[in-house]
């Protein structure tokens, strides 16, 4: 029965478009210099602009030309001249508008039918004026704002109204243009940022913002791209490499990062040739209750597939035969109670413990959690690594006094609703990030906030956004798989706590992406993710050194 009834995290919002970071020109340099991929603030991006220009002996117009060329190449790869009846480029008064004017010129030279709409302003940037002067005469130009936009059916709109220089919510003509685009559901490709969206800070909920189908950004992604509340504005986002100063980025202070393939690659050490099962640790899972033994089984299978040396699973009596039959590779310790966990086993054999999938919220199970926290903190030497999920988190939320007992470096994997139960209701996604950062710092733990771009907060207050995963993974049991996977990696003493969690979250999403290629997103179930953990980890394993 319980086999088909895993724990759900249906409140988790997993609605994200695929990320395609195209770093074509300077990929090797980029990957060597930036193992942790930084997300810079809008102010840092402006400094990066200056640093690039002075370091490379460029003029700012030349850097703008690089950006426009990269954007145009991206657009050309997507649509040929015969596929679009018109490209309407909307240009604002700053350098985002300057990019737009250069893009209009390049597209026109490539044979696209281009028209330009200019937003009137009191003053214009120097590079805007340069590109305005160089717009070919054959490109029709008109003012926008006061009159209705005439949009051709199936045409493309290039949104180059405002980028990182936005200093206040859009109003008047600019707001009118945004309203018309959104109402017409125009097919919009935003240059750098959808106009009206701030790159990295909150703004009033009713701010006019372009709803882009695509956003093509330069150099590095913006923080705004990773937040669910912006998905409808940003659309599918891409980052194009324009050779921005690598030295500046390497030196820049950052507390936001993203984990893509290059950051995750090599995090898992190769297995030594003379390895034995003791090398990879012995993990314990505390999971399951009547009707939710499936959750325990999913966590078990994921833990095994991640390469744990030995695994023992503690389930209530009703789960014993199920576990022994469905997962013969694991050892099973039946609890004295038939329906839920009521006793903590001796912890001395284990290198890591995962608790929560399908657990239920019985007072006796809370007692097990409390004892686990006490004993894990008091092991001789380092505290015993813990991974807490699902009902273990709900029990912590109901008894917040237990939070003070979390051993350092404990890993918590809440979805937004579970996180809210541990802290407070967030006003918006930015506030949620603040709460996440503060919580991880205060409790010296790692918190994985699950969802699209799952966000890992570290005890040092860093936030790492994960780039793998897909909406197919918003299905019952996905979270149980993550718990098993992370427990196995925490039992592997070769990995630091941070590396284990960063790798685990990335590998979980990657396994889901590989599984979705086979099953499609709607048909994806948690067991499919487990089948692809091995292939995902194989991609991420470092070369063996002798």
Ligand X SMILES: NC(=O)C1=CN([C@@H]2O[C@H](COP(=O)(O)OP(=O)(O)OC[C@H]3O[C@@H](n4cnc5c(N)ncnc54)[C@H](OP(=O)(O)O)[C@@H]3O)[C@@H](O)[C@H]2O)[C@@H](O)CC1
Residues numbered 177 to 196 that lie near ligand X (CB under 6 A) are: 191-193
Query: What are the strands, taking DSSP E only, across 108-196?
Result: 114-118, 141-143, 156-160, 187-191
Question: DSSP character for 259?
Answer: E
Distance in Å, CB of 284 to ligand X, minimum: 50
Question: In the complex, what is the shortest distance from the CB of residue 163 to K ion, in angstroms, rounded to a whole number?
Answer: 5
Residues that bind K ion (CB under 5 A): 159, 163, 190-191, 195
Q: What is residue 541's DSSP assignment?
A: B
Taking contact as CB under 6 A, which single stretch among the options 147-155, 166-174, 228-236, 441-449 is the one that binds ligand X? 166-174
Cβ proximity to ligand X, 103 vs 299, nearer residue: 103
Could you tell which of K ion, ligand X, none binds residue 504, using a CB distance below 5 to 8 A set by kind? none
> Whole-number minimum distance, CB 10 to ligand X, in Å?
37
Q: Is 3 buried (19+), middle (13-18) or exposed (0-12) by CB count in 10 A? A: middle
- CA dist., res. 542 & res. 494, Å (int): 13
The residues, ordered by sequence, that sit 6+ positions from 172 with a Cβ below 8 Å of its Cβ are 145
Q: Which does 276 bind (CB under 5 to 8 A by kind): ligand X, K ion, none?
A: none
Instruction: Work out the burial of residue 5: count CB atoms within 10 Å of its CB; fewer than 13 is exposed, 13-18 middle, 19 or more buried.
Output: middle
Q: How many other β-carbons are positioned within 10 Å of the β-carbon of residue 129? A: 14
Q: Pick from 51, 89, 90, 170: which binds ligand X (CB under 6 A)?
A: 170
Report the partner that residue 92 touches, choosing among ligand X, K ion, none (CB closer than 5 to 8 A by kind): ligand X
Was 356 annotated as part of a binding site? no
Task: Give Cβ neighbours of residue 395 (< 8 Å, ≥ 6 apart).
Answer: 359, 361, 365, 366, 369, 402
Q: Applying CB under 6 A, which of residues 24, 28, 138, 167 lies at the interface with ligand X?
A: 167
Identified binder of ligand X from the candidate list 162, 233, 350, 506, rule CB under 6 A? 162
# residues contacting ligand X (CB under 6 A):
32
Single residue of 6, 163, 288, 484 touching ligand X by CB under 6 A: 163
Please indicate if the annotation marks 131 as binding a ligand: no
Query: Nearer Cβ to K ion, position 191 or 533?
Result: 191
Q: Which is nearer to ligand X, 63 or 353 (CB)?
A: 63
Cβ–Cβ under 8 Å, residues 97 and 91: yes
Q: Measuring CA to CA, which residue among 487, 181, 102 is closest to residue 314?
A: 487
User: Number of C-alpha atoms within 13 angstroms, CB side, residue 397?
Assistant: 22
* Stretch 95-114 residues interacting with ligand X (CB under 6 A): 95-97, 99
For residue 490, how many C-alpha atoms fall within 13 Å in the half-sphere facing its CB? 30
Site string for ligand X, 74-93 (x = CB under 6 A): ------------------xx
Rounded-to-integer distance, Cα 109 and Cα 65, Å: 14
Angle between helices 95-109 and 60-78 (to 10 degrees): 50
Residue 417, annotated as binding a ligand: no
CB of 64 to ligand X, least distance (A): 4
- Partner from ligand X, K ion, none binding residue 159, C-beta < 5-8 Å depending on class: K ion
Ligand-binding annotation for 97, yes or no, is yes
Place of tokens 């002075």: 54
511 binds ligand X (CB under 6 A): no
**Min. distance of Cβ 103 from ligand X in angstroms?**
10
Partner interacting with residue 190 (select from ligand X, K ion, none; CB below 5-8 Å by kind): K ion
Q: How far apart are CA 538 and CA 264, in angstroms?
A: 12
Query: Which part of the chain contacts ligand X (CB under 6 A), choosing from 41-49, 334-342, 365-373, 532-540?
Result: 41-49
Annotated ligand binding at 509? The verdict is: no
The item of K ion, ligand X, none sharing an interface with residue 125, based on CB under 5 to 8 Å by kind, is: ligand X
Alpha carbons 93 and 75: distance in angstroms, whole number: 23
**Which tokens is 531 given?**
């089948």
Q: Does 245 bind ligand X (CB under 6 A)?
A: no
Sheet with 352-355, side-by-side order of all strands: 37-38, 256-259, 463-466, 455-457, 446-449, 411-412, 386-388, 352-355, 282-286, 310-315, 331-334
Cα–chain-centroid distance for residue 334?
37
- Which of K ion, ligand X, none binds 167 (CB below 5-8 Å, type-dependent)? ligand X
80 annotated ligand-binding residue: no
Residue in 41, 44, 131, 164 binding ligand X, rule: CB under 6 A: 164
Nearest to 366 by CA among 411, 327, 397: 397
Residue 453 among known ligand-binding residues:
yes
Per CB under 6 A, 49 contacts ligand X: yes
Residue 495 interaction partner, one of K ion, ligand X, none, beta carbon < 5-8 Å per kind: none
Residues annotated in the binding site, as ranges? 95-99, 159, 163-169, 192, 195, 295, 358, 415, 450-454, 479-480
Instruction: List residues binding ligand X (CB under 6 A).
Output: 45-46, 48-49, 63-64, 67, 92-97, 99, 121, 125, 162-170, 174, 191-193, 218-219, 244
Residues annotated in the binding site for K(+), as ranges? 96, 159, 195
Residues annotated in the binding site for (6S)-NADPHX, as ranges? 95-99, 163-169, 192, 295, 358, 415, 480
């Amino acid at each position: 029965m319980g086999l088909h009834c895993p724990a759900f995290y249906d409140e988790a919002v997993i609605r994200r478009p695929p990320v395609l970071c195209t770093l074509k020109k300077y990929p090797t340099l980029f990957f060597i210099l930036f193992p942790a991929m930084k997300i810079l603030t809008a102010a840092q991006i402006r400094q990066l602009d200056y640093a690039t220009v002075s370091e490379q002996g460029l003029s700012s117009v030349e850097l703008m030309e690089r950006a426009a060329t990269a954007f145009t190449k991206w657009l050309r790869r997507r649509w040929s001249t015969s596929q679009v009846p018109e490209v309407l480029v909307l240009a604002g008064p700053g350098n985002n508008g300057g990019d737009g004017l250069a893009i209009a010129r390049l597209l026109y030279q490539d044979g696209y039918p281009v028209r330009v709409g200019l937003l009137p302003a009191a003053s214009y940037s120097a590079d805007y004026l340069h590109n305005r002067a160089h717009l070919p005469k054959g490109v029709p130009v008109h003012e926008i704002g006061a009159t209705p936009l005439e949009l051709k059916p199936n045409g493309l709109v290039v949104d180059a109204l405002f980028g990182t220089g936005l200093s206040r919510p859009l109003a008047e003509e600019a707001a009118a243009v945004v309203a018309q685009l959104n109402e017409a559901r125009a097919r919009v490709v935003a240059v750098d940022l959808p106009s009206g969206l701030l790159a990295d800070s909150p703004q009033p909920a009713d701010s006019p913002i372009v709803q882009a189908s695509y956003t093509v950004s330069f150099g590095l992604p913006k923080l705004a791209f990773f937040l669910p509340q912006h998905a409808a504005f940003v659309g599918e986002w891409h980052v194009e490499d324009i050779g921005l100063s690598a030295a500046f980025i390497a030196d820049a202070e950052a507390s936001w990062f993203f984990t893509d393939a290059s950051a995750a690659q090599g995090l898992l050490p190769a297995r030594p040739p003379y390895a034995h099962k003791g090398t990879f640790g012995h993990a314990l899972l505390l999971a399951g209750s009547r009707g939710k033994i499936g959750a325990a089984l999913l966590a078990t299978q994921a833990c095994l597939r991640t390469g744990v040396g030995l695994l023992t699973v503690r389930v209530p009596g009703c789960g014993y035969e199920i576990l022994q039959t469905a997962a013969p590779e694991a050892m099973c310790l039946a609890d004295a109670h038939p329906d839920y966990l009521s006793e903590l086993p001796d912890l001395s054999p284990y290198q890591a413990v995962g608790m929560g999938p399908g657990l239920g919220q019985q007072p006796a199970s809370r007692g097990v959690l409390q004892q686990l926290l006490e004993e894990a903190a008091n092991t001789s030497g380092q505290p015993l690594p813990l991974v807490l999920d699902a009902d273990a988190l709900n029990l912590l939320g109901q008894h917040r006094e237990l939070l003070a007992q979390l051993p350092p470096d404990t890993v918590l994997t809440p979805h937004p609703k579970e996180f809210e139960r541990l802290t407070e209701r967030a006003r918006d996604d930015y506030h949620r990030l603040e709460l996440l950062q503060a919580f991880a710092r205060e409790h010296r733990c790692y918190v994985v906030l699950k969802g699209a771009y799952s966000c890992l907060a570290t005890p040092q207050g860093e936030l790492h956004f994960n780039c793998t995963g897909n909406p197919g993974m918003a299905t019952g049991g996905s979270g149980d798989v993550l718990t098993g996977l992370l427990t196995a990696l925490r039992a592997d003493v070769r990995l630091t706590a941070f590396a284990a969690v960063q790798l685990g979250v990335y590998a979980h999403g990657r396994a889901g992406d590989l599984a979705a290629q086979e099953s499609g997103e709607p048909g994806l179930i948690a067991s499919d993710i487990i089948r692809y953990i091995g292939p995902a980890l194989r991609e991420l394993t470092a070369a063996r050194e002798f």
